[in-house]
């Protein structure tokens, strides 16, 4: 069960009620969700581009250092000579890039979007068959 509370005080009241009731204490566990950093995807970076060059471009565009960014993975582009980069950024850096809507690298403009993995129900090959359920 997930519960959304307005503030920390309400959260603490709910936790206290759970801890005082033996039956609830056995069946429920308090677990706060981790804060997730936003991810963005950069399109059409040529395969010949050095990793450090992409990192430097992100540092300049977002005014943040390399250690605050996490370069998750690269994907093949629609054309053979291009690739897509997926990057996890601090929230202020993400909003800076999102407001710009583009990233300038090597005198060319790269398009970027918010990146999220597709839900499993869209991926038919990963969906469980009725027999498996």
**What DSSP designation does 54 have?**
H
Distance CA 48, CA 106 (A): 12
Do 94 and 40 touch, CB atoms closer than 8 A? yes
The pLDDT of residue 113 is: 62
pTM for the full predicted model: 0.58
Beta-carbon neighbour count of residue 69 at 10 Å?
19
Do 33 and 103 touch, CB atoms closer than 8 A? no
User: Residue for token digits 């999102």?
Assistant: 98
What domains can you pick out in the chain, each with its CATH number?
39-115 (3.30.70)
pLDDT in tens, 6-30: 888 988 888 898 888 888 888 888 7
């Amino acid at each position: 069960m997930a519960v959304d509370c307005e503030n920390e005080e309400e959260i603490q009241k709910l936790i206290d009620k759970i801890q005082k009731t033996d039956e609830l204490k056995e069946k429920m566990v308090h677990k706060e969700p981790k804060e997730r950093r936003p991810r963005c995807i950069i399109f059409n970076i040529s395969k010949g581009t050095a990793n450090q060059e992409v990192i430097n471009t992100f540092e300049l565009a977002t005014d943040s250092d390399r250690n605050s960014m996490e370069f998750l993975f690269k994907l093949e582009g629609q054309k053979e000579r291009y690739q897509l980069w997926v990057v996890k950024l601090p929230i202020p850096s993400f909003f800076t890039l999102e407001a710009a809507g583009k990233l300038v690298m090597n005198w060319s403009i790269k398009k970027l979007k918010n990146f999220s993995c597709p839900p499993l129900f869209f991926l038919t090959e990963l969906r469980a068959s009725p027999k498996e359920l």
